[in-house]
Chain A
C-alpha cells in the first residue's frame, strides 16, 4: 500500500517536471502569455489591461482595476463562495439543543 502511494507521488512529480519542459523561460517578455496580440488576433489580455487600466477606471493599480472593474462580476461570484462557506461553518459548528440521533 505504501509502495503504491510512493509510486503515485513519484509519477505525479515526474509528470509535472515533464510538463515544465514545454513552458517558456521565466521572465521572458516575448512569451505567448505576454504578447500584445493573442492567437486569434484579439488584443492580448495582460497587455490590454496594462495599457487601458488608467483610461478606463482612473486607478493606477492595475490589479485593482482588473479585480473590481473588468472582472467585477467574477469577484461577486467569489463573495458568494465566501458567504456559502461562512454559512456552512455556522450550520456545522452550532450546538444543537436536542442532540442528534446516535451522537454520544
Chain B
C-alpha cells in the first residue's frame, strides 16, 4: 500500500492541478479567468506526461560518453519530452487565438463578464 502511494502521488498532484484548471473554466464568469483555467489544464497534462517519462537511477536523455547508448534503462524516456515540446507550442498557439477572440469580444460588447455578455448579445446581436 505505501509502495502504491509512493509510486502514484505525483499523478494525484497533477490531477489536483487539472481539477483546479477545470474549476476555473466552469465556475468563473470572466472570460480571461476561464482562459487562465484552460492554461492551467494544459500545463497539468504536460506535467503528467513528463512525470510518466521518469525512471529511477537514470539520467537526462542526452548521450553521456561515460554511459554509452547500449543500456536504454540508464536514460529517461525521450519520447514524452519530444511530444510535450509539440504540445507546448500548440498550447501557445491556441491561447494566442483565444486571447485575440477575447480582445475582439471586448471591443464589440465592452465587457468580458459572461452573464452581462449574454445579455448584451441578446439585446444587440
Contacts and interface: CB of A to CB of B under 8 A. Distances in A.
Contacts, number: 138
B46 interface: no
A16 B18 contact: yes
Chain B binding surface SS class:
helix
B82 A82 contact: no
A36 interface: yes
Given A50-B61, A61-B62, A62-B62, A13 B15 contact: yes
Contact of A29 (B11, B52, B55, B101): B55
Interface in B2-57: 3-4, 6-8, 10-12, 15, 18-19, 22-23, 26-27, 51-52, 54-57
B7 A67 contact: no
Interface string A65-89: 0110001001100100110111011
B10 to A, nearest CB: 5
Contacts of A41: none
A45 B83 CA distance: 13
B27 A85 contact: no
A75 B81 CA distance: 14
Contacts of B57: 29
A5 interface: yes
B118 interface: no
A3 interface: no
22 contacts: A2-B27, A8-B26, A9-B26, A23-B11, A26-B8, A26-B51, A26-B54, A27-B54, A29-B56, A33-B52, A51-B69, A53-B63, A54-B63, A60-B63, A62-B62, A63-B78, A63-B81, A67-B86, A74-B86, A85-B94, A85-B97, A102-B124
